[in-house]
Amino acid sequence: MNTATPDAAGIAHAYLAVWNETDPLRRRRLLEAGWQPDASYADPMAQARGLDAIDALVGAVQQRYPGFRFHLKGRADAHGDHLRFGWTLGPAGAEDLIEGSDFAQLDGGKLRAVTGFLDKVPAGA
């Protein structure tokens, strides 16, 4: 078990940068820098394993919500190889419409598994 405390805020911001990056090449570089190659992602609406599938999922979310941006909500927290943080999602320059909480397992400072929960979702979103 890793006894060092990870940079929770830095990892959370890098994670959200992946979701906000619309350029496929830059997004892929961010994924490779911050995620293990066989990482997994799961939330109530989607599951993905491996960088290709996670990249495709991020692209699909961006197509569904064009112009929306993710933001860190509150303070990211970590202990050992575990990380948790809240986030918001909404159109640029407007009130955030969706909120969630993500829990992650780290491996060597990179994301190994992320489980997302949707805390606030408006009807029709």
Distances (CA, A) of 102 to 24, 54, 79, 83: 23, 15, 14, 8
Confidence of residue 78 (pLDDT cuts 50, 70, 90): very high
Pairing of strands 35-43, 46-49: antiparallel
How many Cβ atoms are within 10 Å of 6's Cβ, its own excluded? 19
Confidence of residue 95 (pLDDT cuts 50, 70, 90): confident
Q: Does residue 54 sit in helix, strand or coil?
A: helix
pLDDT at 4: 59
pLDDT at 3: 52
Confidence of residue 2 (pLDDT cuts 50, 70, 90): very low
String of DSSP letters for 82-96? EEEEEEEEEETTS--
